[in-house]
Amino acid sequence: MSLKYGVLGLLKGEPLHGYEVKNRFEGMLGGTWDVNIGQIYTTLQRLERDGLVRPVGSRGDRGKQLYELSPDGEKALDRWLAQPDSGPQQLHEDIYVKLLLATRIANGDLKGMLARQKRAYLQRLRDLNRLEEGARRDGRIDLARLVRGALLHTEADLKWMDELSSERFGTEGTKTE
C-alpha cells in the first residue's frame, strides 16, 4: 500500500491539514509506520495535481492548508478498498538471501544459521505476544489484530526454519544456468 490511499482514507471522514493527516496516520498504525511530514505534503500535492483531493478555503501557509476528498478521490478510494491485494509476495528479510548464498558456499554454516534464525524468531514471537497483550490492555483491538497477523507470519517463518533444519543440504539444485 502506498501512503496515497492512507491519506485518501483519512480525508474521507473530514477535511484535514497535513499535520493532522500525519498524526492520525501514525496513530492509526500505532507507531508501526513512521512518516515524515515532508512525505505527507508531497503526497497531498500529487493528489491535488491528480484531482483526487482539493484545498478547502483560501490557501494559507502550507501547514494550515485544509484538504478534502474530491468525488474522483472518493471513487479511487472505493476502488482500492474493493481490490484484493495481489501481485508478488514481498519478502523483506535478509535471511532468504543468506540461505540462498549459504547453500552455495562450501562451508556456509547452514545449520547454525538456521538455529540462530530460529531463536531470533522465537524471541520475536515473544515480543509480538507482549505487544498484542499491551494493545488489548490499551483497548487497541485494531492494533492487536495487526499484531496477530504478524504473529502468524512469524510462526510460518519458524516452521520454515524447522523444515529446512530437517533437510540435507548439498549443492544440488542450485544451478542458475
- Residues engaged in binding another protein (CB under 8 A): 1-4, 6, 29-34, 39, 42-43, 46, 92, 115, 118-119, 122-131, 133, 135, 143, 146-147, 150-152, 155, 158, 162, 165-166
Q: Decide: 42 and 100 in contact? Cβ < 8 Å.
A: no
Choice between 101 and 141, CB closer to another protein: 141
Choice between 97 and 156, CB closer to another protein: 156
The distance of closest approach from Cβ of residue 141 to another protein in the complex, given in angstroms and rounded to an integer, is 14
Q: In Å, what is the CA distance from 56 to each residue of 15, 24, 46, 118?
A: 8, 19, 16, 52
DSSP H or E stretch at residue 117: helix 110-137
Choice between 129 and 171, CB closer to another protein: 129
Q: Sign of torsion, CA 40 41 42 44?
A: positive
Q: Decide: 21 and 7 in contact? Cβ < 8 Å.
A: yes
Choice between 2 and 107, CB closer to another protein: 2
| β-sheet with 66-69: strand ranges across | 16-17, 66-69, 53-56
